[in-house]
């Protein structure tokens, strides 16, 4: 029988929801299961409503499920808030004094934790109980606890082992519809969230300098990178604001290293000035915009896909740029590494459009992540020039890409200006120079376009195609599967390479279907509008979600059905 | 041997005749030559404004950037390659107005660079509006009833933030300014040289003659540059007598010296080690 169960651990911020979730994820991963987990929290450090929702399956899963088989409520109000999400045979596990009744299991988390040696191990009790209900062998959790606490102290490890066992045994004979036979296998891949994937992708792209100003949901990328600065040639600097962050990155890149910043929409607004500077000085930079709902502060800890049109058009006037949007952690790794290559090759800004769901969700990537063995640099120096003293930073040639030398790296002087300039970099207001430079920058576009990959199509030749981007990928593919089960001919198209827009490839794909629908986390179908602008093809409907929460497959399927 | 002529460039100068910037430009070239710093070893970074055009008027590597943003750009360049010799040309509007936050934080970080602020107490390039250092009451087209805000005191701010090299020059005293720029570049850490400068087009009060009558050199008064309290008191002296020279000097570890990872050399020179990353990727 197929395994597909969802466990929701809900409580106040600060109650250790994440700890329980991490234990469950690690155990399922280690047992060779697939999982997908979302993190939902409010913009507060204590109190309120937060949850970690993990879907466990014996088949690959890349989307959350709205129906909960087991609700672990760390307080009564979380129980009240989410009880309605339970499946008919679902259970609630809660720390209440008066015994089991109906679908409620009384788990004395605090009391068992104290018995184990300290209240602090209550989360381990909960994890043990969840695994007990699911029929898991406790040995895997024990191994994970040894990995986590073994080096800290024997007492802490003994307490947690005892807590896990007490929780596990407490639920020993309770019937749970989500119980299944565990046949531990080797892990199916690596456990990864989007933030870490972007950070590791940056290292794979040979990023040496990052600067940032803390902003959810992008901060995790930078804190993870900061944790690696002892092991890699990498500087991570917290800037005084996002304006400083992007300019530090421009300075570092101008001086010769690959550099990146990460922020969310509000910080990206402040960075647009710098993106313009990178564009006119042709300094490569990578900027991650991990989207959340806006405008202004919007919903700080929630998800959105509302910045597509913004980042394609951000900063005054016109200039070439890349916009890439990963949909899974594995894509985030590859796209980020590639972003550094593209930025340097074309001397343009590259914007990576992520979102909170991608950054904060965990899933198992079966594809192994490979660090490129060599980094191709696109930098020149005196030895490759006929006459270094006559070097012109913005020398015009048909490709629009001028050989880029570094400052203070030889006789060649490097002059760069945010003012419009001559080929040598000096300010110029001459009509001829202005036209020359605009045309030169624009001349990069055909080659840039040729770098754009074709959208990924699942079940091609379907009559209906669901088209999306970003973290919608998993839910959209699963929704298409749900509709196929109803006998409909439905496939899906996932776009990562959004700008320059691969119009020919998109046209070829969309011409094969009878109708296509866009599925997006915004209220105006921005990708749909872009497709129409670039291909002349109009979407036949749109499934849009802008409540700040991730897509669920069944709601997408329902949204599509309305059009049929 | 580097000479002043090595910095001469043919690019047309775009300042008003008689501008204080010419004196500053001459002192820069003199100082670079005296330090034996050739154009190719010099990176000038500037923001926006008349002062920020300076790098275009001498031979050097340059990044003429955005209004107020020269300091974070310079900070980033230092992170990449802390062996670079960086001089920043900025103005009172660029550095103390638009870039005020960056000014404060570059000082706090103690980035090893020399900041020259061409301070003419008025906006030149946008034609005569008040700047952060304009005196209260200054009447301009944009402030017809006079400037309401108090003027910004860059030296006092820099001192209070722990700047290790704080000086004031005067564009009309080239000899002293040359010495100050040399000392600023030799200083290991953040060096601020605020340069009093007339604006012949928009500031009718603080003229060359006005300054000439008032400035005096702290060195001639035997000022001890290790006395922070004295330096702070002097930073508030303005009016009949205007102190110039080095107010305060003290070397402390720089921003990049405190970054552990780059002690083995500039980060730009390190080799990429994909195996180390692959180990991390495979271990997950």
ipTM value: 0.98
Name residues whose C-beta falls within 8 Å of residue A283's C-beta, 6 or more positions apart in sequence.
A250, A253, A254, A277, A347, A416
Give yes or no: residues A427 and A478 share one domain. no
Name residues whose C-beta falls within 8 Å of residue A253's C-beta, 6 or more positions apart in sequence.
A209, A259, A278, A283, A284, A285, B76, B80
Give the model confidence (pLDDT) of A447-472 as tens digits: 999 999 999 999 999 999 999 999 99
CB-based contact A520:A495 (threshold 8 Å) = no
Longest alpha-carbon distance in chain A: 87
- Tell me which residue range forms the domain holding B87: 4-282
CA distance A278 to A340: 14
Residue A464, domain member (yes or no): yes
Query: Which one, of A488, A470, A483, A465, lies nearest residue A542 by Cα?
Result: A465
Residues from chain A contacting residue B262 (CB–CB below 8 Å) = 233, 235
CA distance B169 to B197: 9
Residue A370, domain member (yes or no): no
C-alpha distances (whole Å) from A191 to each of A37, A48, A108 are 11, 28, 31
Probe site for chain A from B37, B56, B77 (most A CB atoms < 10 A): B77
Residue A79, domain member (yes or no): yes
Give the model confidence (pLDDT) of A234-257 as tens digits: 999 999 999 999 999 999 999 999
Residue A350, domain member (yes or no): yes
Name residues whose C-beta falls within 8 Å of residue A80's C-beta, 6 or more positions apart in sequence.
none
The answer to whether the CB atoms of B73 and A239 lie below 8 A apart is no
CATH code of the domain covering residue A109: 3.40.920.10
Q: How far is A35 from chain B (nearest CA, A)?
A: 15
Give yes or no: residues A479 and A522 share one domain. yes
φ, ψ of residue A355 to 5 degrees: the values are: -155, 170
Question: Token pair for residue B245?
Answer: 């020279």
Give yes or no: residues A416 and A470 share one domain. no
Query: Which one, of A65, A81, A161, A76, lies nearest residue A121 by Cα?
Result: A161
- Tell me which residue range forms the domain holding A355: 192-365
Q: Which of A164-173, A281-290, A334-343, B92-101 has the lowest mean pLDDT?
A: A164-173
A contact residues 269-308, partner B, Cβ 8 Å cutoff: 273-274, 277, 281
User: Looking at residues B17-28, what average pLDDT do you find?
Assistant: 97
Give the model confidence (pLDDT) of A423-439 as tens digits: 999 999 999 999 999 99
Residue A151 has pLDDT above 90, yes or no: no
Give the model confidence (pLDDT) of A520-550 as tens digits: 999 999 999 999 999 999 999 999 999 999 9
Residue A186, domain member (yes or no): no
pLDDT band at A1 (very low <50, low <70, confident <90, very high): low
- For residue A43, what pLDDT is reported? 87
> Which SS3 state, helix, strand or coil, does residue B203 take?
coil
Kindly identify which residue of chain B lies nearest to residue A197, measuring between CA atoms: B281
Residue A36, domain member (yes or no): yes
Give the model confidence (pLDDT) of A24-71 as tens digits: 999 999 999 999 999 999 888 888 999 999 999 999 999 999 999 999
Give the model confidence (pLDDT) of B247-274 as tens digits: 999 999 999 999 987 788 999 999 988 9
- Whether the CB of B42 is below 8 Å from some CB of chain A: the reply is yes
Angle at A551 between CA A545 and CA A554, to 5 degrees: 105
CB-based contact A389:A419 (threshold 8 Å) = no
The answer to whether the CB atoms of B281 and A414 lie below 8 A apart is no
What percentage of chain B exceeds 90 in pLDDT? 94
- Whether the CB of A159 is below 8 Å from some CB of chain B: the reply is no
Q: Which of A365, A392, A414 is the last residue of a domain?
A: A365
Give yes or no: residues A423 and A500 share one domain. no
What percentage of chain A exceeds 90 in pLDDT? 94
Give yes or no: residues A153 and A197 share one domain. no
Q: Say how far residue B204 (Cα) sits from the centre of its chain.
A: 24
Give the model confidence (pLDDT) of A84-103 as tens digits: 999 999 999 999 887 888 89
User: Looking at residues A102-128, what average pLDDT do you find?
Assistant: 95
User: Looking at residues A219-225, what average pLDDT do you find?
Assistant: 98
The answer to whether the CB atoms of B101 and A417 lie below 8 A apart is no
The answer to whether the CB atoms of A209 and B66 lie below 8 A apart is no
Residue B176 has pLDDT above 90, yes or no: yes
Name residues whose C-beta falls within 8 Å of residue A180's C-beta, 6 or more positions apart in sequence.
A1, A3, A5, A134, A135
A contact residues 161-190, partner B, Cβ 8 Å cutoff: 190
Give yes or no: residues A126 and A237 share one domain. no
Give yes or no: residues A238 and A345 share one domain. yes
The answer to whether the CB atoms of B276 and A250 lie below 8 A apart is no
Give yes or no: residues A159 and A283 share one domain. no
Q: Is A469 left (phi over 0), alpha (psi -120 to 50) or beta?
A: beta
Average per-residue pLDDT for chain A: 96
- For residue A182, what pLDDT is reported? 95
The answer to whether the CB atoms of B62 and A241 lie below 8 A apart is no
User: Looking at residues A359-369, what average pLDDT do you find?
Assistant: 93
CB-based contact B155:B168 (threshold 8 Å) = yes
- Whether the CB of A232 is below 8 Å from some CB of chain B: the reply is yes
- For residue A13, what pLDDT is reported? 87
CATH code of the domain covering residue A535: 3.40.50.920
Residue B112 CB-half CA count within 13 A: 21
The answer to whether the CB atoms of B73 and A206 lie below 8 A apart is no
CATH code of the domain covering residue B218: 3.40.50.970
Give yes or no: residues A177 and A34 share one domain. yes
Q: Cis omega before residue A295 (within 30°)? A: yes
CA distance B128 to A262: 38
Give the model confidence (pLDDT) of A464-511 as tens digits: 999 999 999 999 999 999 999 999 999 999 999 999 999 999 999 999
- Number of folded domains in chain B? 1
Q: How far is A551 from chain B (nearest CA, A)?
A: 27
- Number of folded domains in chain A? 4
Could you tell me where the DSSP H helices lie in A376-472? 431-442, 445-450
Q: How far is A564 from chain B (nearest CA, A)?
A: 44
* Facing residue for A240 by CB, picked from B55, B105, B262: B105
Kindly identify which residue of chain A lies nearest to residue B85, measuring between CA atoms: A408
User: Looking at residues B101-117, what average pLDDT do you find?
Assistant: 98
Q: How far is A252 from chain B (nearest CA, A)?
A: 4
- For residue B284, what pLDDT is reported? 52
Kindly identify which residue of chain B lies nearest to residue A408, measuring between CA atoms: B41
Helices B100-109 and A242-255, axial angle in degrees (round to 10): 60
Residues from chain B contacting residue A210 (CB–CB below 8 Å) = none
Q: Which of A409, A429, A451 is the last residue of a domain?
A: A451
Residue A372, domain member (yes or no): no
Q: Which of A320, A340, A365 is the last residue of a domain?
A: A365
Residues from chain A contacting residue B80 (CB–CB below 8 Å) = 208-209, 251-253, 255-257, 259
CA distance A124 to B284: 22
Give yes or no: residues A176 and A196 share one domain. no
CA distance A275 to A70: 47
CB-based contact A532:A538 (threshold 8 Å) = yes
Give yes or no: residues A391 and A495 share one domain. no
CA distance A172 to A183: 18
Q: How far is B274 from chain A (nearest CA, A)?
A: 6
Residue A374, domain member (yes or no): no
Give yes or no: residues A423 and A281 share one domain. no
> Which SS3 state, helix, strand or coil, does residue A273 take?
helix
Report the predicted TM-score, pTM, of the whole model to 2 decimal places: 0.97
Average per-residue pLDDT for chain B: 96
CB-based contact B91:B103 (threshold 8 Å) = no
């Amino acid at each position: 029988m197929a395994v597909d169960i969802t466990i929701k651990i809900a409580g106040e911020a600060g109650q250790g929801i994440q700890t329980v979730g991490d234990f469950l994820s690690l155990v399922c991963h280690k047992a060779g299961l697939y999982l997908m987990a979302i993190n939902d929290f409010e913009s507060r450090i204590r109190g309120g409503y937060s949850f970690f929702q993990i879907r466990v399956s014996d088949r690959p899963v890349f989307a959350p499920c709205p129906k909960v088989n087991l609700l672990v409520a760390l307080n009564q109000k979380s129980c009240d808030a989410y009880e309605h999400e339970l499946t008919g045979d679902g259970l609630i596990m809660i720390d209440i004094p008066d015994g089991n009744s109906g679908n409620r299991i009384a788990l004395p988390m605090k009391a068992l934790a104290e018995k184990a040696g300290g209240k602090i191990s209550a989360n381990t009790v909960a994890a043990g109980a969840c695994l007990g209900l699911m029929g898991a062998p406790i040995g895997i959790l024990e191994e994970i606890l040894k990995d986590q606490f073994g080096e800290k102290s024997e007492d802490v490890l003994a307490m947690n082992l005892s807590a896990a066992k007490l929780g596990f045994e407490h639920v020993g004979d309770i019937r749970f519809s989500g119980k299944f036979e565990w046949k531990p296998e080797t892990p199916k891949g690596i456990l990864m969230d989007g933030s870490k994937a972007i950070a590791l992708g940056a290292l794979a792209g040979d990023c040496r300098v990052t600067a940032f100003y803390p902003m959810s949901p992008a901060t995790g990328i930078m804190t993870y990178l900061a944790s690696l600065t002892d092991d890699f040639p990498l500087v991570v600097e917290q800037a005084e604001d996002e304006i400083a962050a992007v300019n530090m990155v421009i300075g570092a890149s101008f001086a010769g290293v690959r550099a990146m910043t990460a922020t969310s929409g509000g910080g990206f607004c402040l960075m647009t000035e710098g993106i313009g500077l990178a564009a006119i000085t042709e300094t490569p930079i990578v900027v991650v915009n991990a989207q959340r709902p806006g405008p202004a502060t919007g919903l700080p800890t929630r998800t959105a896909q509302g910045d597509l049109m913004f980042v394609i058009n951000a900063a005054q006037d016109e200039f070439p740029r890349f916009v890439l949007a990963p949909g899974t952690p594995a894509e985030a790794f590859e796209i980020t590494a590639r972003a550094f290559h593209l930025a340097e090759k074309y001397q343009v800004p590259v914007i990576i459009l992520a979102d909170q769901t991608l950054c904060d969700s965990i899933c198992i990537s079966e594809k192994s992540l490979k660090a490129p063995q060599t980094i191709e640099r696109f930098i020149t120096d005196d030895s490759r020039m006929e006459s270094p003293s006559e070097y012109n930073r913005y020398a015009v040639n048909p490709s629009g890409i001028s050989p880029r030398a570094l400052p203070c790296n030889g006789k060649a002087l490097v002059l760069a200006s945010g003012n419009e300039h001559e080929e040598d970099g000096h300010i110029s207001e001459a009509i001829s120079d202005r036209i020359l430079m605009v045309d030169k920058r624009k001349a990069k576009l055909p080659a840039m376009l040729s770098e754009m990959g074709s959208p990924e199509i699942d079940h091609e030749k379907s009559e209906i195609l669901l088209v999306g981007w970003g973290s919608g990928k998993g839910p959209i593919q699963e929704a298409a599967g749900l509709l196929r089960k109803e006998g409909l001919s439905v496939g899906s198209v996932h776009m990562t390479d959004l700008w320059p827009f691969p119009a020919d490839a998109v046209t070829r794909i969309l011409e094969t279907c009878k109708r296509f629908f866009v599925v997006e986390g915004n209220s105006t179908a921005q990708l749909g509008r872009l497709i129409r602008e670039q291909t002349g093809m109009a979407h036949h409907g749109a499934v849009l979600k802008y409540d700040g929460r991730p897509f669920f497959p069944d709601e997408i399927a329902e949204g599509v059905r309305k059009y049929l | 041997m580097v000479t002043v002529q090595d910095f001469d460039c043919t690019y047309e100068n775009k300042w008003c005749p008689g501008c204080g910037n010419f004196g500053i430009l001459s002192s820069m070239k003199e100082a670079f030559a005296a330090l034996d710093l050739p154009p190719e070893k010099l990176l000038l970074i500037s923001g926006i404004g008349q002062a920020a055009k300076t790098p275009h008027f001498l031979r050097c590597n340059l990044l003429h950037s955005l209004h107020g943003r020269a300091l974070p750009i310079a900070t980033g360049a230092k992170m990449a390659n802390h062996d670079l010799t960086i001089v920043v040309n900025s103005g009172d509007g660029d550095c103390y107005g638009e870039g005020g936050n960056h000014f404060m934080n570059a000082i706090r970080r103690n980035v090893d660079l020399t900041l020259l602020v061409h301070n003419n107490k008025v906006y030149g390039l946008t034609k005569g509006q008040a700047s952060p250092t304009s005196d209260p009451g200054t009447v301009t087209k944009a402030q017809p009833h006079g400037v309401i805000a108090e003027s910004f005191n860059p030296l006092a701010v820099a001192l209070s933030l722990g700047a290790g090299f704080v000086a004031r020059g005067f564009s009309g005293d080239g000899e002293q300014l040359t010495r100050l720029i040399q000392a600023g570049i030799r200083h290991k850490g953040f060096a601020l040289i605020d340069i009093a400068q007339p604006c012949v087009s928009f500031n009718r009060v603080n003229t060359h003659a006005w300054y000439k009558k008032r400035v005096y050199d702290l060195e001639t008064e035997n000022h001890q540059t290790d006395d922070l309290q004295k330096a702070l008191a002097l930073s508030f002296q303005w009016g009949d007598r205007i102190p110039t020279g080095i107010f305060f000097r003290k070397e402390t570890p720089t921003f990049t010296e405190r970054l552990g990872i780059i002690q083995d050399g500039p980060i730009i020179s390190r080799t990429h080690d994909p195996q180390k990353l692959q180990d991390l990727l495979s271990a997950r």
